[in-house]
Chains A and B, each alone.
Chain A
């Protein structure tokens, strides 16, 4: 395409930064919003940890400052009600307003067009619209912290009838309604993103960029987008059902003979309580793979780049991601083993859940295969990538205990579960996010981040994280329940209370370590070393553009000649071979799917 086809970049501030249709700007909009929420959600975790270690005593420093909020009383204590609100909002914010927006909204938006060699996504205006649905949702969820009665408090899973029936004395306020509305908007933002990304990857690949030459990050985004497209509408439907239950008095999730506070519910009944859980988990189980697949993609790129070695078993890596998605749709029942679902269904869900460990294992072994015989550069992004790998293994393996139905009976709804998923979403995904951020920061902002601070951050986070979350397995084994504000209420939990104290202190260390990241981010943005186009000697297409990337990415649409991971090719001059370099001779990588009809 000739260059005169390119529109000039917008010059007004409004079109450049606010209503921008540039995928890079939208990515950054998502990034900043999500980082803000990371602080909010993280701070909430700190408050929870304080309460769990020292139940009923005022939170030092922060307590008084935050006493205007619903969950803190005037003396700076976390209230009993407040604890539930904190758990709920922490989970909701971290999943829907931090991790998904960063992985998909920020990294997806930023990287997909670059990786396929396109100038933007297929539908740039819809892309902007997606952010502008996400932002009001963020405002709603944030505003719910301040409404009368406080924010939602029925857990991020919002089980009916607790969240549904306004007379349960628990969700009478507007908090729960705002929660539903916010998630509904976030859902449609995701769907818009999903079909946009799919169209971009399928239709806008540069010449020569066959399916076998896509970087694994982009493959992960592709598979995630399928998830979003097909599973998110189901969540949206469930949210609608609960909304009409709350607002119009229908009884989708409310059976007859329900007497909250000994008074008849006043509903017609006829609803089915467990239906909420089925629909919710039909979405939310695949959603946990939305939380990890892009992280796996990022980790693959980091590991291959810094190991200076092609990724081991590229096709198997793609196939395993695809089968994680496929299986992901038929395992939702493993969240419901003790819910009162028919026991026979427990068995089938157990088997499918066990099987999902298989593709995950293939990925782990292939990453290890990539590292074997490599030449590792221990940069900050690589440290994060390796942390992802080691933490994902722990989180994944603990999943097997829960997949075993008889064992899950005991550990369900205990801190064992909390340990499991924090190992994956924090130990896994957030490490991948940090790594990806250190890696692509030069492309995003044109400067390098401070490597020493980055390593320090990674190390402290790693240590703090493990000290905080590993002992949670022991809490879980002791039967320590989730979502209880005062563990000292129970005799059999007495012996483990010191562990709660230890965990909280480690969590504060973990939180403090994030301040380094925050500082490094802003400092490097302003004063970091200017980045050259390809500081990590990496292969994929984004590194062929200047840093920071110009408005239309590529002034000439690149032609792709290799797979993304041609490192240390025999006979090549350098130990890397950019995807658009035509001269690599015979070792042109896996010819798989080379070229594509356009």
Chain B
């Protein structure tokens, strides 16, 4: 997406270096707005919870903590494999990059599959977003988070194809690192969602 031609100063080598820097910087800014997006949802959750504490605690008991814990584990591990992928890309290690990306994708899929089972169990028991304020928050927060995981998986899959062609070498690994940053954010958001939705009774 970034066109090196827009770099205003510097010789060839510098341009290349600041391309990396510029993209990464842009990614950080983008993540800042993602943080605000989720922060607004979480704020809404806090306000609603403050208004009906008992009902929230009760509804939260319906959730499956074990499945969610497995999911938490999956995401944390996937952050790790992502770090490995970025490191490999940085070294120009094609096989390492591909392996790291594939593992991350796989773990992301595990997360989504488990989420799918959680959702369908809820629907099966007649629990929908409209059931009460807690489940409204639950489906909204996990739903948007799930969409972000899905988007991440798609981005990672594209990277996987690109990486397998050996594009990431000679110190060029910007897309891998930027996608990595995004993936970590998705992970961090979950780290917040897990306790407030599943553990707080």
Contacts and interface: CB of A to CB of B under 8 A. Distances in A.
Report whether chain A binds chain B: yes
Nearest to B133: A270
Interface string B37-69: 111110110011001100100000000000000
Contacts of B32: 195, 229-230
A234 B22 contact: no
A598 B33 contact: no
Contacts of B29: 194-195, 198-199, 229
Contact of A236 (B2, B37, B131): B37
Contact of A203 (B3, B21, B44, B140): B21
B26 interface: yes
A122 B26 contact: yes
Interface in B161-198: none
B158 interface: no
A237 B6 contact: no
A250 B37 contact: no
A124 B6 contact: yes
Nearest to B59: A270
Interface stretch (A67-75, A158-166, A240-248, A386-394): A240-248
A191 interface: yes
Interface stretch (B9-17, B86-94, B118-126): B9-17
A375 interface: no
A501 to B, nearest CB: 44
Contacts of A230: 32-33, 36
B117 interface: no
Contacts of B7: 1, 118, 204
B136 A272 contact: no
Contacts of A270: 48, 51-52, 55, 132-134, 136
Given A5-B4, A250-B130, A268-B133, A202 B25 contact: yes
Contacts of B134: 270
B130 A248 contact: yes
A252 to B, nearest CB: 6
B8 A117 contact: yes
A125 B15 contact: no
Contacts, number: 160
Contacts of A196: 26
B22 to A, nearest CB: 5
Nearest to B130: A249
B26 A123 contact: yes
Contacts of A121: 6
Contact of B15 (A1, A123, A191, A251): A1
Q: Is the contact region of chain B dominated by helix, strand, or loop, or is it mixed?
A: helix
Interface string A1-36: 110011100000000000001000000000000000
A149 interface: no
Interface string A52-79: 0000000000000000000000000000
A341 to B, nearest CB: 13
B130 A268 contact: yes
A206 B8 contact: yes
Contacts of A233: 33-34, 36-37, 40
Contacts of B47: 272, 275
B8 to A, nearest CB: 4
A313 interface: no
A250 B129 contact: yes
A238 interface: yes
Contacts of B140: 240-241, 244, 250
Nearest to B40: A237
B60 to A, nearest CB: 14
A512 B162 CA distance: 58
A462 to B, nearest CB: 38
B12 to A, nearest CB: 8
B3 A598 contact: no
Contacts of B34: 233
A482 interface: no
A297 B134 CA distance: 46
Contact of A241 (B1, B3, B44): B44
A447 interface: no
Given A122-B2, A598-B18, A244 B136 contact: yes
Interface centre among A207, A238, A250 (most CB of B within 10 A): A250
Contacts of A267: 130
Contacts of B44: 237, 241, 252, 275, 279
A271 B40 contact: no
A1 B3 contact: no
A241 B41 CA distance: 8
A248 B40 contact: no
Interface in A35-58: none
A15 to B, nearest CB: 14
A268 B8 contact: no
Given A123-B1, A195-B26, A233-B34, A203 B18 contact: yes
Nearest to B35: A233
Contacts of B5: 5-7, 119-120, 552
Given A118-B6, A229-B29, A233-B33, A268 B40 contact: no
B142 to A, nearest CB: 13
A231 interface: yes
Contacts of A120: 3, 5-6
Interface of B: 1-12, 14-15, 18, 21-23, 25-26, 29-30, 32-34, 36-41, 43-44, 47-48, 51-52, 55, 128-134, 136, 139-140, 144
19 contacts: A1-B11, A5-B15, A117-B8, A120-B3, A191-B33, A194-B29, A204-B22, A205-B8, A233-B34, A233-B40, A241-B44, A241-B140, A248-B130, A250-B130, A250-B136, A268-B131, A272-B48, A272-B51, A598-B9
The 9 closest A-B pairs by CB, nearest first: A270-B133, A237-B40, A249-B130, A233-B37, A250-B136, A195-B29, A233-B36, A120-B6, A234-B40
Given A120-B5, A204-B7, 17 more contacts: A1-B9, A1-B15, A5-B12, A113-B6, A123-B2, A123-B26, A126-B1, A195-B26, A195-B33, A206-B9, A207-B8, A236-B40, A237-B41, A240-B41, A250-B133, A270-B48, A598-B14
